[in-house]
């Protein structure tokens, strides 16, 4: 077979099996004598459990709760911290907190029994919104002030000095809402016992996270637990830490029941009782000179975390580190606060904290430009950071920044400047533009200090097997990785195999998150392949590599100073709209984007990621409204939480620039999150222009647009 | 139950004796083990469970099995090895339509129903034809392109 070159067009290795309906997702699997589980959850956002009344259970039915955790175990899920309990005990802190697991052979009987369970509470006053959390409504949930995590970064001169010199100060607050992942496959897992070990089959991004999170429940070590990832039907961050919340109770149940147990959320459960994107409130106070030049920006970024930490501090850090967007602002001070509330805990979602602040800074920059009569594109481009430029964390941009070239691509293709001049504010037609980036991989030296990823290649005859802990969840990783290995080895992609990770077989390559898999794990595989190629004639052998951090990139995780990321992906997006003056329906008439991802490992996969990321971002800005009233999410189905269909947005025009990245495989950088990070701001810019108004929050469905216009 | 329900799934005769209110999707996935039919929402909104019933695209999660008495049902398993089915599936693979894959069997069924009634649809007709099928990964462009590709490659197949 001919060897595969990196630029060859290949067919995604998982495409046929999925399109034929042969791929096995966790809900498609069953085992002999399999039992089913239903989660029993709190129905109030905050209070104390007074009593749990369980109906008499027929033989073979079980109610599993905190009481079933053995003496040697602890009722905690070890995510980053251990604050999130496996089962609520005494207090409940959010609607949907796990109280128990109902297990048995027949689902009809289970749902009958579920309705008979009576839980009585003494309800306490809950804090739901960011403002309520900050005001410590109902008393503190965490510490004394509900501040779950915080940090600040500063660059340049002291803010008082900068603001003293200002001719004017412009301050505004920009807000973003919850967003639900709506991976088409809901959350689910099966536990069983294989070869004497507790074994999970799970729809998950991070199999190694699961074993670490749950082992302590039975006083075990992570190695005592096996996790086998099943074909995962979308994740977007929603299956990063959250599978731990399903797998913990399953493990406790399995300890008692010792039969295969399957727990699959239905869509309503997945909507109401799963993690969401953090709602944010971002306030910028900007010092300006008389011509509208920026002297400095003072920012406060607040994220609504819910009552447990999960990934929130890392999300908040990323939010703060992206709070000045793609701009080199001479003086900045940004404070980040993660506030505890009684909502379902917020957690990872594609972009991981960056989309909120990027949307905010783009909108803020655009508002300043318009106030001073500049075109937003032209105004923003004056501040583009360059290679070597100082970042918000006093580090430096390592790579060549080609934003001007990217801007030219989309500006020319969309005829932006002509339309920008022609479409008068309020004319019903508008065009908007945004610039954005995304730091690849873990923050700072996290790849070295925290993860130390491993990857392995195993050669048997003329065939090579990839062994990594990183997962395919739809993003195309499996194909990209096989392509990297094949191209580096000079063999055909058909001679390289990859199986969904099984933690008892593969090394820990770190989580499949942070746009790090191709960039970091792909590079490890490339290094394995380079060595394997040299030793090819040695027969059957394997090569394993550990991550090596490039030298000369200081980072202090205590002060958050230094090179926060080793490389960024960069993006530019233009959106054109027409708004119906009567109904406020927004019709998107054009979408143009350009991205710098270093180098595309597979252009067709990248094409799909660009399209999908942009549509998800446009949904976030325009229609995906998830409201929380008194701790309860109001949208419980796909008919009331509406995500884009094939009719919403037109065909996209997209560009890439070639800008190989020194430490990535074949020059590739991360890209899965980048493509989510900017279409929202371009869309809102366009809608603002079409209506001649200012918008300060997303999502912005037509009914909310009406309200904005009424209050303008 | 009093009456048995008789219908055909992928040309195989099925005699169902249970509760006529049982959802068709449960009969397909559990009794017949046709797990290519996916459950995404359970309320007929997402289209992952799409099957063809008497020539029309339907969502099997909101149809009680009692309503399919005498019907001919085709699932992804029933079309994937037909010439038309292969044409669509191969076009989806070649065109980059598949990411996580969970919506794809339903999407293939939608494409099958569309091309069977409209062999050479325009972009807008394709978008309309799959508007009942939600995909969270692709943003739809490459699915639309792939259906166009299937229409072109299939040629006479669809006439």
CB-based contacts of B92: which residues, under 8 Å, 6+ apart? Answer: A15, A19, B98, B104, B107, B108, B111, B143, B146, B150
Among B76, B103, B144, beta carbon nearest to A184: B103
Contacting residues of A for B46, CB less than 8 Å apart: 184, 267, 638
The reply to whether B34 and B64 lie within a common domain is: yes
CB contact, 8 Å: A9 with chain B? no
Return left, alpha or beta for A698; rule: phi > 0 is left, psi -120 to 50 is alpha, else beta: beta
The reply to whether B124 and B151 lie within a common domain is: yes
Which stretch of DSSP H or E encloses residue A37?
strand A35-41
The reply to whether B70 and B103 lie within a common domain is: no
Among A15, A185, A611, beta carbon nearest to B141: A611
In chain A, % of residues over pLDDT 90: 97
Yes or no: say if B103 and B48 are a contact pair by the CB < 8 Å rule.
Answer: yes
Chain B: give the shortest CA distance to residue A223, in Å.
Answer: 29
Minimal-distance CA residue of chain B relative to A17: B101
Among B34, B98, B140, beta carbon nearest to A15: B98
A277-314: per-residue pLDDT in tens? 999 999 999 999 999 999 999 999 999 999 999 999 99
Minimal-distance CA residue of chain A relative to B109: A19
Return left, alpha or beta for A629; rule: phi > 0 is left, psi -120 to 50 is alpha, else beta: beta
Chain B: give the shortest CA distance to residue A514, in Å.
Answer: 17
Last residue of one domain, picked from the residues B54, B75, B96: B75
Nearest residue to A501 (alpha-carbon basis) of A200, A217, A189 = A200
Q: How far is CA A174 from the centre of its chain?
A: 20
Quote ipTM for the complex: 0.98
Contacting residues of A for B123, CB less than 8 Å apart: 651
Minimal-distance CA residue of chain B relative to A638: B45
Contacting residues of B for A613, CB less than 8 Å apart: 139
- In the stretch 18-77 of chain A, residues with CB closer than 8 A to chain B read 18-25, 27-28
A569-612: per-residue pLDDT in tens? 999 999 999 999 899 999 999 999 999 999 999 999 999 999 99
Q: What pLDDT score was predicted for residue A581?
A: 87
Nearest residue to A700 (alpha-carbon basis) of A588, A593, A571 = A588
Residue A1 in this model has a pLDDT that exceeds 80 = no
The reply to whether B71 and B89 lie within a common domain is: no
In chain B, % of residues over pLDDT 70: 99
Chain B: give the shortest CA distance to residue A480, in Å.
Answer: 13
- Which range marks the domain in which residue B57 is found? 5-75
Q: Which residues pair with B58 in a beta bridge?
A: B51
The reply to whether B124 and B145 lie within a common domain is: yes
The reply to whether B16 and B56 lie within a common domain is: yes
Yes or no: say if A358 and A280 are a contact pair by the CB < 8 Å rule.
Answer: no
- In the stretch 604-623 of chain A, residues with CB closer than 8 A to chain B read 604-605, 607-608, 610-616
Yes or no: say if A359 and A680 are a contact pair by the CB < 8 Å rule.
Answer: yes
Contacting residues of A for B29, CB less than 8 Å apart: 28
A191-212: per-residue pLDDT in tens? 999 999 999 999 999 999 999 9
How many domains does chain B divide into? 2
What does the radius of gyration of chain A's CA atoms come to, in whole angstroms? Answer: 25
Contacting residues of A for B52, CB less than 8 Å apart: none
The whole-angstrom separation of Cα A358 and Cα A356 is: 6
The whole-angstrom separation of Cα A8 and Cα A710 is: 55
DSSP B65: G
Among A20, A234, A608, beta carbon nearest to B96: A608
In chain A, % of residues over pLDDT 70: 100
Residue B68 in this model has a pLDDT that exceeds 60 = yes
The whole-angstrom separation of Cα A273 and Cα A181 is: 12
Q: What pLDDT score was predicted for residue B131?
A: 98
Which string of DSSP letters, residue by residue, matches A509-562? ---S-TT-IIIIIHHHHHHHHHHHHHTGGG-SEEEEEE--PPSS--EETTTTEE
CA distances in angstroms from A538 to A257, A463, B87, listed in the order given: 49, 13, 43
The reply to whether B37 and B96 lie within a common domain is: no
Among A19, A27, A475, beta carbon nearest to B89: A19
CA distances in angstroms from A386 to A292, A570, A571, B59, listed in the order given: 21, 12, 14, 52
Which string of DSSP letters, residue by residue, matches A640-694? TS----TTTSPPPEEEE-----TTSGGG----TTGGGSSHHHHHHHHHHHHHT--
B101–A474 CB contact, under 8 Å: yes
CB contact, 8 Å: A290 with chain B? no
Contacting residues of B for A614, CB less than 8 Å apart: 139
Q: How confident is the model at residue A551 (pLDDT cuts 50, 70, 90)?
A: confident
Contacting residues of A for B138, CB less than 8 Å apart: 608, 611-612
Q: What pLDDT score was predicted for residue B1?
A: 47
Contacting residues of B for A24, CB less than 8 Å apart: 35
Nearest residue to A615 (alpha-carbon basis) of A557, A671, A676 = A676
Nearest residue to A314 (alpha-carbon basis) of A174, A149, A85 = A149
Quick one: average pLDDT of B1-30? 93
A233–B101 CB contact, under 8 Å: yes
Taken in order of first residue, the domains within chain A and their CATH numbers are 15-23+446-546 (3.30.365.10), 31-124+181-272 (3.30.365.10), 367-441+563-711 (3.30.365.10)
B97–A604 CB contact, under 8 Å: no
Nearest residue to A452 (alpha-carbon basis) of A668, A204, A208 = A208
Token output for B121? 């649809």
Token output for A472? 């395919």
Minimal-distance CA residue of chain A relative to B90: A16
Contacting residues of A for B45, CB less than 8 Å apart: 637-639
Contacting residues of A for B92, CB less than 8 Å apart: 15, 19
Nearest residue to A348 (alpha-carbon basis) of A80, A637, A618, A679 = A80
Minimal-distance CA residue of chain B relative to A477: B99
Minimal-distance CA residue of chain B relative to A184: B40
CB count within 10 Å of CB A432 equals: 27
A614–B143 CB contact, under 8 Å: no
Return left, alpha or beta for A45; rule: phi > 0 is left, psi -120 to 50 is alpha, else beta: alpha
Residue A160 in this model has a pLDDT that exceeds 80 = yes
Minimal-distance CA residue of chain A relative to B33: A28
Among A236, A473, A638, beta carbon nearest to B43: A638
Minimal-distance CA residue of chain A relative to B40: A184
Which of A19, A29, A588, A647 to mutate to test binding with chain B, by most B CBs within 10 Å of its CB? A19
Quick one: average pLDDT of A362-377? 98
Minimal-distance CA residue of chain B relative to A641: B45
Q: How far is CA A258 from the centre of its chain?
A: 35
Minimal-distance CA residue of chain B relative to A108: B22
Query: How many Cβ contacts (< 8 angstroms) between chains A and B?
Result: 175
The whole-angstrom separation of Cα A452 and Cα A460 is: 26
CB count within 10 Å of CB B30 equals: 13
Nearest residue to A279 (alpha-carbon basis) of A316, A244, A308, A314 = A316
A652–B46 CB contact, under 8 Å: no
A381-400: per-residue pLDDT in tens? 999 999 999 999 999 999 99
The whole-angstrom separation of Cα A642 and Cα A701 is: 11
Contacting residues of B for A607, CB less than 8 Å apart: 96, 141-142
B99–A608 CB contact, under 8 Å: yes
On the 0-12 / 13-18 / 19+ scale of CB atoms within 10 A, A56 is exposed
The reply to whether B50 and B34 lie within a common domain is: yes
Residue indicated by tokens 């106070």: A285
The whole-angstrom separation of Cα B93 and Cα A30 is: 28
Contacting residues of B for A612, CB less than 8 Å apart: 99, 136-139
The whole-angstrom separation of Cα B46 and Cα B50 is: 9
Which string of DSSP letters, residue by residue, matches A582-650? TT--EEEEEEEEEEE-SS-S-HHHHHHHHHHHHHHHHHHHHT----EETTEES--STTTS----TTTSP
The reply to whether B64 and B9 lie within a common domain is: yes
Alpha helices in A187-306 (DSSP H): 207-215, 243-257, 267-272
A647–B131 CB contact, under 8 Å: yes
Q: How confident is the model at residue A502 (pLDDT cuts 50, 70, 90)?
A: very high
What does the radius of gyration of chain B's CA atoms come to, in whole angstroms? Answer: 15
Over chain A, what is the mean pLDDT?
Answer: 97
User: What CATH number corresponds to the domain at position B29?
Assistant: 3.10.20.30
**β-pairing, A261-264 with A188-194?**
antiparallel
Contacting residues of B for A643, CB less than 8 Å apart: 134, 136
The reply to whether B128 and B95 lie within a common domain is: yes
Nearest residue to A94 (alpha-carbon basis) of A40, A41, A37 = A41
Q: What pLDDT score was predicted for residue B2?
A: 56
A612–B98 CB contact, under 8 Å: no
Yes or no: say if A444 and A555 are a contact pair by the CB < 8 Å rule.
Answer: yes
The reply to whether B38 and B90 lie within a common domain is: no
Residue A373 in this model has a pLDDT that exceeds 60 = yes
The reply to whether B84 and B148 lie within a common domain is: yes
Last residue of one domain, picked from the residues B75, B98, B127: B75
Yes or no: say if A315 and A150 are a contact pair by the CB < 8 Å rule.
Answer: no
User: What CATH number corresponds to the domain at position B103?
Assistant: 1.10.150.120
Residue indicated by tokens 């669509």: B88
B142–A651 CB contact, under 8 Å: no
CB-based contacts of A182: which residues, under 8 Å, 6+ apart? Answer: A271, A638, A641, A643, B134, B136
Contacting residues of A for B137, CB less than 8 Å apart: 184, 234, 474, 608, 612
Last residue of one domain, picked from the residues B26, B41, B75: B75
Token output for A6? 């990196």
Chain A: give the shortest CA distance to residue B10, in Å.
Answer: 14
A92-142: per-residue pLDDT in tens? 999 999 999 999 999 999 999 999 999 999 999 999 999 999 999 999 999
**Starting at the edge strand that comes first in sequence, how are the strands of the sheet with A197-202 ordered?**
A62-65, A98-104, A35-41, A261-264, A188-194, A197-202, A225-229
Nearest residue to A266 (alpha-carbon basis) of A114, A88, A44, A93 = A114
Give CA angle at A221 (A218, A222), nearest 5°. 105
Q: What pLDDT score was predicted for residue A194?
A: 98
A614-663: per-residue pLDDT in tens? 999 999 999 999 999 999 999 999 999 999 999 999 999 999 999 999 99
3-class DSSP assignment, residue A316: helix
A20–B80 CB contact, under 8 Å: yes
């Amino acid at each position: 077979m001919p060897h595969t070159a990196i630029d060859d067009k290949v067919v995604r290795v998982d495409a046929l099996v999925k399109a034929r309906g042969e791929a096995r997702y966790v809900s498609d699997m069953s085992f002999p004598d399999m039992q089913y589980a239903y989660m029993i959850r709190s129905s109030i956002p905050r209070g104390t459990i007074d009593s749990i009344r369980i109906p008499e259970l027929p033989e073979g039915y079980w109610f599993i709760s905190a009481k079933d955790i053995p003496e040697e175990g602890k009722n905690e899920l070890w995510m980053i911290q251990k604050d999130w309990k496996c089962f609520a005990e005494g207090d409940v802190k959010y609607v949907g907190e796990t109280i128990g697991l109902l297990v048995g052979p027949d689902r009809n009987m289970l749902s009958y029994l579920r309705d008979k369970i009576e839980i009585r509470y003494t309800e306490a006053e809950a804090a739901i919104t960011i403002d309520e959390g900050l005001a410590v409504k109902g008393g503190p949930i965490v510490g004394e002030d509900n501040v779950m995590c915080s940090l600040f970064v500063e660059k340049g001169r002291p803010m008082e000095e900068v603001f003293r010199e200002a001719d004017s100060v412009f301050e505004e607050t920009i807000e973003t809402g919850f967003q639900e992942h709506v991976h088409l496959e809901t959350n689910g897992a099966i536990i069983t016992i294989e070869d004497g070990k507790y074994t999970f089959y799970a729809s998950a991004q991070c199999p190694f996270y699961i074993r670490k999170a749950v082992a302590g429940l039975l006083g075990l070590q992570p190695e005592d637990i096996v996790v086998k990832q099943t074909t995962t039907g979308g994740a977007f961050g929603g299956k990063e830490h959250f599978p731990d919340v399903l797998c913990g109770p399953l493990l406790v149940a399995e300890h008692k029941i010792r039969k295969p147990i399957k727990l699959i959320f239905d869509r309503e459960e997945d909507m109401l009782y799963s993690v969401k994107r953090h709602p944010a409130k971002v306030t910028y106070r900007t010092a300006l000179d008389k011509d509208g030049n920026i002297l400095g920006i003072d920012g406060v970024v607040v994220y609504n975390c819910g009552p447990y930490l999960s990934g929130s501090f890392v999300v908040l850090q990323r939010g703060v580190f992206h709070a000045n967007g793609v701009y080199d602002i001479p003086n900045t001070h940004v404070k980040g606060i993660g506030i505890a509330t009684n909502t379902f805990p917020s957690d990872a979602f594609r972009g991981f904290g960056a989309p909120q602040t990027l949307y905010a800074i783009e909108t803020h920059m655009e508002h300043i430009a318009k106030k001073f009569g500049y075109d937003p594109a032209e105004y923003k481009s004056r501040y583009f950071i360059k290679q070597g430029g100082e970042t918000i964390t006093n580090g430096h941009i390592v790579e060549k920044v080609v934003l001007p070239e990217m801007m030219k691509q989309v500006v020319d293709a969309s005829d932006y400047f002509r339309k920008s001049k022609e479409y008068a504010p309020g004319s019903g037609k508008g065009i908007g533009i945004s610039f954005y980036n995304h730091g690849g991989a873990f923050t700072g030296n996290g790849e070295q200090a925290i993860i130390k990823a491993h990857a392995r290649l195993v050669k048997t005859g003329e065939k090579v097997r990839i062994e990594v802990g990183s997962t395919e969840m739809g993003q195309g990783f499996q194909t990209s990785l096989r392509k990297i290995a094949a191209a580096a080895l000079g063999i055909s992609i058909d001679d390289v195999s990859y199986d969904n990770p099984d933690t008892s077989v593969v090394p820990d390559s770190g989580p499949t998150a942070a746009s790090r898999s191709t960039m970091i794990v792909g590079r490890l595989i490339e290094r394995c392949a380079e060595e394997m190629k040299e030793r090819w004639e040695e027969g059957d052998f394997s090569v394993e590599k550990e991550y090596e951090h490039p030298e000369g990139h200081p980072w202090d995780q205590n002060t958050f100073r230094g090179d926060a990321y080793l490389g960024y992906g960069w993006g530019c997006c233009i959106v054109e709209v027409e708004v119906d003056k009567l109904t406020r329906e927004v019709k998107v008439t054009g979408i143009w984007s350009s991205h710098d991802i270093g180098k595309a490992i597979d252009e067709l996969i990248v094409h799909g990621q660009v399209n999908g990321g942009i549509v998800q971002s446009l949904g976030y800005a325009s229609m995906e409204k998830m409201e929380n009233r008194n701790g309860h999410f109001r949208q419980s189905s796909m008919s009331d939480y509406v995500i884009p269909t094939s009719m919403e947005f037109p065909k996209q025009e997209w560009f890439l620039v070639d800008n190989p990245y020194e430490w990535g495989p074949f020059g590739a950088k991360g890209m899965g999150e980048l493509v989510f990070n900017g279409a929202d701001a371009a869309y809102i810019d366009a809608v603002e222009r079409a209506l001649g108004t200012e918008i300060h929050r997303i999502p912005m469905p037509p009914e909310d647009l009406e309200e904005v216009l009424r209050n303008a | 139950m009093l009456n048995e329900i008789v219908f055909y799934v992928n040309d195989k005769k099925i005699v169902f004796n249970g509760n006529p209110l049982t959802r068709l999707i449960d009969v397909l996935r559990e009794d017949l083990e046709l797990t290519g039919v996916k459950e995404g929402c359970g309320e007929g909104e997402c289209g992952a469970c799409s099957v063809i019933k008497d020539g029309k695209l339907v969502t099997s999660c909101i149809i009680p099995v009692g309503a399919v008495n005498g019907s001919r049902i085709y699932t992804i398993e029933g079309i994937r090895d037909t010439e038309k089915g292969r044409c669509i599936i191969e076009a989806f693979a070649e065109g980059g339509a598949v990411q996580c894959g969970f919506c794809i069997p339903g999407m293939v069924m939608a494409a099958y129903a569309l091309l069977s009634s409209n062999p050479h649809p325009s972009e807008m007709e394709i978008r309309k034809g799959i508007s009942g099928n939600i995909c969270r990964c692709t943003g739809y462009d490459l699915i639309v392109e792939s259906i166009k590709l299937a229409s072109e490659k299939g040629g006479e197949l669809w006439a």
